[in-house]
Structure 1
Amino acid sequence: MSRFTPVRRQYLVRTLVVTAIYAAGIFAAWYLIVKVGVSRPIAFGVALIPGLAMVGMFYNTLSMITATQDEFMRMLAVRQQLIAAGFALAVASVWGCLEMFDLVEHVEAFYIVVLWAIGLFVGQFSNRITHGVWGECP
């Protein structure tokens, strides 16, 4: 099987586009809200851009999984996503309990997506260890 199937290639291109929108949205929101001081309705709209870009990332992942024809590779992708989600939710839950009792500092909720992204690598590594292959998704 080719390392870059059409599904994987499409996934990677969409990921790059969504990541660029996310980065541009973060910069635009910071600049317009912090530096320029735009009105609240405009600030609200601009601040939504990076969050909606992450929604696009999740949709992109779902599209990749449903478009993958090889059932084994699809299983590896789903397994990777479950591990990533479990990793992110576990860390967020433990941190939240510690935060609730003022034992650790507050962390913004959007960092859960960062944990999910780290969890993707954990899931991919787990696939490699348990099944001998990394899987189709990066």
Structure 2
Amino acid sequence: MPTDLQILYDRFFSKTDEDFTGKEGQVFVLVDSAISKSYKNTVHNLNYTLINPEEYEGYFDEDLDKDEIELLALWMVYEWNRKKQQKLISQRRLIGTKDFNRLGNLKDELKSINETMELTLNDIKDLKNEFNTYKYS
């Protein structure tokens, strides 16, 4: 039985504290990015079919394992944070590092995002190592 895309969306939403209402298109772009980073590490094909392209409703053509869904969700979290990181880095370039650092909230937000990205990347690496250890060897 194919895996509904909503299962992936829900896993991703559970890992963030953002409100993605009205941002369905942005979330779906994260799905494609996650697939491009994950397909070499999964047993199942990550092709999908959209049954309602305007609402980004659909399903993966194959039934994905829980760890494959987790890998995709983690890559989505990483890419979402990378987008926020790039926005802050652009702001820092625009106003200058010195002035940016004086704005404690922006400096702290960038630091927090960088730490989150590092932790997420570590989670991804750990999960991929588990794939190689018990699943695919």
Q: Same fold (TM over 0.5)?
A: no
Q: TM-score, length-normalised on structure 1? A: 0.39
Structure 1 or 2: more helix by fraction: 1
Higher relative CO (Cα under 8 Å, sequence separation at least 6) belongs to 2
Q: TM-score, length-normalised on structure 2? A: 0.39
